[in-house]
Amino acid sequence: MAVINTQGSEFESLITKNEIVLVDFWAEWCAPCKQFAVVYDKVSELYPEIVFAKVNVEQEAELADTFEIRSIPFLMVFKKGILIYAESGSMPESTLIELITQAKVADVSVG
């Protein structure tokens, strides 16, 4: 599955209807965001079963405010609708792959 651009109106259904969803908050003017986008796009091709979403913080300011995004790029990982990772900054391909590996085995069951 290719990286999809998402909007606030579809955000909740995206994270609740998919097993694992990665969300990259970014902006057009952000150089580190552009560098991370290359890694994000490449890794997304390795995991077609995972949703890789992008949120432009300038177009979706309300969504960015909801999550108190103050620094970009900012990556969030949801599993079964539960936020399991949230961190700002770019990362190399190997770190993103490791993060996905951990997300796949993370137990988010209650009780």
Q: 66-75: long-range contacts at Cβ-Cβ below 8 A with a sequence spacing of 24 or more? A: 66/8, 67/25, 69/25, 72/25, 72/26, 72/27, 72/30, 72/32, 72/33, 73/24, 73/25, 73/26, 73/30, 73/32, 73/33, 73/36, 74/24, 74/25, 75/22, 75/23, 75/24, 75/25, 75/99
DSSP three-state, residue 20: strand
Q: Which of 30, 55, 75, 99 is catalytic?
A: 30
Q: Which of 21, 33, 72, 76 is catalytic?
A: 33
Respond yes or no: is residue 33 known to be catalytic.
yes
Respond yes or no: is residue 46 known to be catalytic.
no
User: Which residues are annotated as catalytic?
Assistant: 30, 33
